Amino acid sequence: MSKDIIINCGPRDTRVAVLENGELVELYLENQSEQRLVGNIYKGKVSNILPGMQAAFIDVGLPKNAFLYVDDALENVVGVDELPEKINNKTTIKDVLKPGQSIIVQVAKEPFGTKGARVTRHITIPGRFLVFMPTVDYVGISRRIAEGDERDRLRKLAHEHKPAGTGLIVRTMAEGVEGEELKKDIDALARLWKRIRTRGKTAKAPSLLHKDFDLLYRIVRDSFDHDVARVVVDNAQAYEVVLGLLEDTLPQLKDRVFLFQQNRPVFEVFGIEPQIDKIVEKKVWLKCGGYIVIDQTEALTSVDVNTGKFVGSTNLADTVLKTNLEAAREIARQLRLRNIGGIIIIDFIDMESAEHQKKVLAALGEAAAGDKVKSSILGLTQLGLVEMTRQKARLGLADSLLRPCPCCDGSGRVLAEDVAGSRIEGELKRFLETSEEPAVLVQVHPMTAGNLIGVNAANLERLEKESGKRIFIRGSIQMKPDEYKITLSGSVLEVERAAIPVSVGEIHTLLIDSAHNTRPQDGVARVEGYVIQVEQAGTLVGQKATFEVTKVHRTFAKAKLYFQST
């Protein structure tokens, strides 16, 4: 497998892509204006105890108080799989913390939405080869180091060199590393912890004691190993930083770092941008013709598998198995790429064969094994759904790349135009009943405008007859589908002049923004939201065209195409 790391440093952000055989598997973003909190260590103050939740709110100086569970509040305990259980189930949050108490905590999960950061007293400080745990006397070895003699060697070295009363987790990158190199890493981490504790003794709560390193440092520390064929950096300063970091850790790999000097963007050259665009899409097509649909909610992520265009060449069971196997591998990749954490429910295509079910679960587990983030596949439910979990620490890519839609408030749906039109019509009627002006200009979303006007302006004529007012309607894409604005009220002549911004005989050069709904051979241009139907301009969508206005109506105008503008 070929593994590459591509680093793009822009004026506003740094982006790092990890490719395996040219395929994007991990993407990291660091915006200059946004601070990353996971890994930061604070001296905080207990602001509130919540006995009913067995938790506490901790003021660490952030806009929202951090959240600390009782299990994370107990000292000398660390959340490691191999560590013996030390927690007394009878211990309550009141036994551990008191309001106003100062404690040292580390951010374990980023704040999200209305929730503050989640913190822990179980401090972990990652180095190149080890993770230092100053609050627990323990040694653990990465499960990815499989060879028994190597595990024993590393465990022995860790016990020999770790400071008394502290703990270490030996990382995968330590495999084959000499004891002297491990000792250097341990000593550096122990010195860092000593500096943090020294600051903590004099600092007033709340205060930041240690800020985790920037993205470049973390990538070299956590991702650059012997499996990486090359690291490509498109910025000379960042290139020197990467070389400097490797000089202190893995100098023998410096020849794998290259400075990108082409005029084209580095992410474009390596085909990364199109792959990033697909990250935000719900539907992911499989090579076999099937597809998966990924839906993320606050509670969980659901993944649905469908055969799509794939009909197979043998029997239905084999078609389903082939689709599910490919889907299992792609789901693991998408979870890793999108950094989806928490509870994940997968609805594979129904399989009658228990042997086929085992094959699909095995394929999912094998694909997930390449992910550095811990995940657990819990098996099939009675409904035939696969349950799994994936550790969540940093924000998922969707939360970094996207924001809730201002039109639908993040629901993914807006009111249908007939429902929005009916609602606006009712509100408009109430306004017109109290208005003394004989005419109004109403601004609405273009789709809602079409519904309010109706076929051959039937709805508009009815509304005018019922209200006794002259009504002009203008579409604006700046409006939400369910909102309207009275932009002008006054005499009929005054409002008409404002509502109809063109006259017969005028020549205009405008963008043809769409084909006409009922006459697709015609194009649609707009002047301040007013629709102009341009004959024979349907093939010019997205281009500018010059035309003459031939007819003017209250709701739209017609025009004759002159020529395409250059």
Residue 289 has pLDDT above 80, yes or no: yes
Higher confidence at residue 82 or residue 521? 521
Identical fold for domains 280-398 and 417-499, yes or no, is no
Domain 417-499 has CATH 3.30.230.10: no
Distances (CA, A) of 231 to 96, 201, 225, 256, 472: 47, 41, 11, 6, 61
Do residues 116 and 211 make contact, with C-beta atoms less than 8 angstroms apart? no
- Which percentage of the chain shows pLDDT scores above 70? 95
Average pLDDT of the segment spanning 504-509: 94
Residue 168 has pLDDT above 80, yes or no: yes
Question: Quick one: pLDDT at residue 413?
Answer: 79
Domain 280-398 has CATH 1.10.1740: no
- Alpha carbon dihedral 354, 356, 361, 363, in 10-degree steps, equals 160
Average pLDDT of the segment spanning 234-248: 90
> What is the CATH number assigned to the segment(s) 41-210?
2.40.50.140
Closest C-alpha among 19, 21, 3 to residue 227: 3
- Spans of all domains in the chain: 3-34+216-273, 41-210, 280-398, 417-499, 507-564
Name the class of domain 3-34+216-273.
alpha beta
For tokens 């199109």, what's the residue?
A: 274
Token couple for 243: 């070389």
Do residues 560 and 536 make contact, with C-beta atoms less than 8 angstroms apart? no
Could you tell me how many helices (H) and strands (E) the chain has, helices first?
15, 30
111 CB neighbour count, 10 Å cutoff: 18
Residue 277 has pLDDT above 60, yes or no: yes
Question: Quick one: pLDDT at residue 416?
Answer: 84
The CB-side HSE value for 465 (13 A sphere, CA atoms) comes to 6
Q: CA-CA distance, 439 to 449, in Å (whole number)?
A: 17
297 CB neighbour count, 10 Å cutoff: 9
CA angle 377, 379, 381 (to 5 degrees): 135
What's the topology of domain 507-564? OB fold (Dihydrolipoamide Acetyltransferase, E2P) (2.40.50)
Distances (CA, A) of 13 to 34, 221, 402: 9, 20, 16
Residue 89 has pLDDT above 80, yes or no: no
Question: Quick one: pLDDT at residue 81?
Answer: 38
